[in-house]
Amino acid sequence: MTASIERSLSKIPPLESGDRLSRHEFERRYTAMPHLKKAELIEGVVYVSSPLRFKSHGQPHGDLIIWLGTYKVSTPGVELGDNATVRLDLDNEPQPDVLLLIDEKLGGQAKISEDDYIEGAPELVAEVSASSASNDLYDKKRAYRRNGVQEYIVWQILENKVDWFSLQNDEYVTLEADANGIIKSRIFPGLWLDMTALLTGEMTKVLAVLQEGLNSTEHQAFVERLSL
Question: pTM for this one?
Answer: 0.90
User: What pLDDT was estimated at residue 51?
Assistant: 83
CA angle at 89 for the pair 85 and 90, rounded to the nearest 5°? 105
User: What pLDDT was estimated at residue 11?
Assistant: 83
Encode pLDDT of 111-145 as tens digits.
999 999 999 999 999 999 987 667 889 999 999 99
User: What pLDDT was estimated at residue 3?
Assistant: 45
**Strand 86-87 relative to strand 118-119, pairing:** parallel
- What is the chain's Cα-based Rg? 19
User: What are the pLDDT tens digits along the chain (228 aa)?
Assistant: 444 444 444 589 999 999 999 999 999 999 999 888 899 999 999 999 888 889 999 999 999 999 999 999 999 999 999 999 999 999 999 999 999 999 999 999 999 999 999 999 999 999 999 876 678 899 999 999 999 999 999 999 999 999 999 999 999 999 999 999 999 999 999 999 999 999 999 999 999 999 999 999 999 999 999 997
Q: Which residues contact 228 (CB under 8 A, 6 or more apart)?
A: none
User: What pLDDT was estimated at residue 10?
Assistant: 53
User: What pLDDT was estimated at residue 133?
Assistant: 65
> String of b and e for 27-60 (b: at least 16 CB within 10 Å)?
bebbebeeeeeebbbbebbbbbeeeeeeeebeeb
- CA dist., res. 121 & res. 140, Å (int): 13
Residue type, 208: A
* DSSP letter, residue 210: H
CA 171 to chain centre: 18
Orientation of helix 59-73 relative to helix 203-214, angle to 10°: 20
8 Å CB contact between 66 and 74: no
User: What pLDDT was estimated at residue 1?
Assistant: 41
Q: What is the three-class DSSP state of 174? A: strand
User: What pLDDT was estimated at residue 7?
Assistant: 45
Q: Which residues contact 167 (CB under 8 A, 6 or more apart)?
A: 145, 148, 149, 150, 151, 152, 173
Tell the burial category of 206 from Cβ atoms under 10 Å away from its Cβ (0-12, 13-18, 19+): buried
Q: What is the three-class DSSP state of 62? A: helix
